[in-house]
């Protein structure tokens, strides 16, 4: 009888020790780093009466970009890579993101759909299709967040005359006098 009691006590002790070794691991919140940037746009003189130097300087002066850009967690633009954030600059063109460590790719709206350069061709517009496909796969800006905040500086979108803001597209129509 004593032996049975000792065996029961021994098994109880072993099971209680086994359970006491279990340590509950809690998920830690990911470390987020600040990513700062400024998104601007510039234009160019597109013909017509020659503007004054002041007018040309004003045309070329960077202004805040009023549209969204998009962020993917990848080193290149891929359709299969989801958009993880939409970036809307403030009235001054500035934006701030809070991101985990990783490699990121900022893309523009035209890069969210599959590249289809032939659809851009018209009587006045020519397209270098190989160039367009190559540029489509490139990030507007790629960057890496390691273990500190990142300042991307000013990112500028240059508007061209008579064309949509797409790479490798050229105007082949009649220029104004």
Domain boundaries, the chain: 33-171
- Tell me the C-alpha distance between 99 and 33, whole Å: 5
Let me know how many helices (H) and strands (E) the chain has, helices first.
3, 10
Would strands 33-42 and 150-158 be described as parallel, antiparallel, or unpaired?
parallel
pLDDT of 21 above 90: no
CA angle 111, 113, 116 (to 5 degrees): 90
Q: What is the dihedral of CA 130, 46, 163, 128, to 10 degrees?
A: -10
- Which of helix, strand or coil describes residue 57? helix
Q: Is domain 33-171 in CATH 2.60.40.10, yes or no? A: yes
Residue 146 corresponds to which tokens in the numbers above? 């390691």
Residue 165, pLDDT score = 80
Would strands 33-42 and 63-64 be described as parallel, antiparallel, or unpaired?
antiparallel
The pLDDT tens digits for 51-98 are: 899 988 998 999 999 999 999 999 999 988 999 999 999 999 999 999
The mean per-residue pLDDT over the stretch 134-144 comes to 95
pLDDT of 8 above 60: no
pLDDT of 7 above 50: no
Distances in whole angstroms, Cα of residue 6 to Cα of each of 14, 18, 20, 119: 12, 18, 21, 85
Residue 119, pLDDT score = 86
Residue 127, pLDDT score = 92
Distances in whole angstroms, Cα of residue 100 to Cα of each of 68, 108, 126, 146: 21, 22, 41, 8
The mean per-residue pLDDT over the stretch 46-51 comes to 83
pLDDT of 110 above 50: yes
Backbone angles phi, psi at 79, to 5 degrees: -60, -35
pLDDT of 25 above 80: no
Query: 56 or 34: which carries more pLDDT confidence?
Result: 34
């Amino acid at each position: 009888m004593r032996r049975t009691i000792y065996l029961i006590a021994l098994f109880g002790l072993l099971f209680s020790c086994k359970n006491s070794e279990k340590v509950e691991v809690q998920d830690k919140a990911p470390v987020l780093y600040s990513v700062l940037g400024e998104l601007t746009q510039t234009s160019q003189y597109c013909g017509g009466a020659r503007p004054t130097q002041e007018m040309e300087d004003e045309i070329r002066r960077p202004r805040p970009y009023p549209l969204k850009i998009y962020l993917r967690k990848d080193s290149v633009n891929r359709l299969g890579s989801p958009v993880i954030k939409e970036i809307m600059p403030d009235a001054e063109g500035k934006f701030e993101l809070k991101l985990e460590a990783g490699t990121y790719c900022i893309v523009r709206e035209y890069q969210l759909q599959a590249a289809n350069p032939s659809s851009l061709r018209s009587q006045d517009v020519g397209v270098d299709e190989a160039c367009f496909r190559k540029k489509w796969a490139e990030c507007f800006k790629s960057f890496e967040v390691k273990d500190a905040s990142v300042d991307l500086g000013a990112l500028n979108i240059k508007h061209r005359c008579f064309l949509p803001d797409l790479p490798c597209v050229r105007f082949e129509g009649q220029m104004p006098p």
